[in-house]
Amino acid sequence: MNIGILGTGIVGQTIGSKLVQLGNDVMLGSRIANNEKAVEWKKQNGSRASHGTFAQAAGHGNILFNCTAGTASLDALNRTGKENLNGKILIDVANPLDFSNGMPPALSICNTSSLGEQIQKTFPEIKVVKALNTMNCKLMVNPALLKDEHDVFVCGNDKEAKSEVISILKEWFGWKSVIDLGDITAARGMEMILPLWLRLMGVLQTTNFNFKIVK
């Protein structure tokens, strides 16, 4: 499948590499076509890997991942252009972490809205599915790194899109437990878990952990 990834940081690179290994043609998108990190990533990932602008990466993809910094996501999507986005599934992995007042970051959007909702509202023709924003990127694509079972949350307004994303999570990335939280307003709760996640990272001195809902 052709997949477009918006963002060339560690999250976009990690998801991109996994998708290439699975046999997909993946383009990493950035503000500029020849982003240094994307050029390096392509070298390491062979002929199925490519890079371009946000618009080129979105145009390339049948499915898109938003792996930009959350505070820059709306700007990145605006640069991408509706003609490259409309009708497509966008898996929104981003968190609206605002580091402008130092550590710990606050959320730039929260409580009465969320980044996932703002993207869906601004681009009503995209099928936004929030997913994978609650664990580190190595776990995103390889949940088996933790011995015990743990959970990934998803939410979104389009049921078919969500169903396709759940298949990707299970069949491609190996997730056994996916919890569907309903429509995109659940992105609020998914993003608001970040302050606890960051605190746990400090206390546990690792990013190699995740949430499990015990029933």
- Residue 162 touching a copy of itself (CB under 8 A): no
| Positions in 132-151 near a copy of itself (CB under 8 A) | 146, 148-150
Calculate ∠ Cα 157-164-124, nearest 5°: 30
Among 22, 106, 166, 178, contact with a copy of itself (rule: CB under 8 A): 106
> Cβ closer to a copy of itself: 25 or 151?
151
Task: Specify whether the backbone of 165 is left (phi greater than 0), alpha (psi in -120 to 50) or beta.
Answer: alpha
Strand 63-66 to 2-6 pairing: parallel
> Cβ closer to a copy of itself: 55 or 154?
154
- Residue 178 touching a copy of itself (CB under 8 A): no
CA 131 to chain centre: 6
Give the count of beta carbons closer than 10 Å to the beta carbon of residue 206: 9
Instruction: Specify the stretch interacting with a copy of itself by CB under 8 A; choose among 40-48, 83-91, 104-112, 119-127.
Output: 104-112
Rounded to whole angstroms, the Cα distance separating 144 from 148 reads 8
Binding site for a copy of itself (CB under 8 A): 106-107, 110-112, 146, 148-150, 153, 179-182, 186, 188-190, 192-193, 195-200, 202-204, 206, 208-215
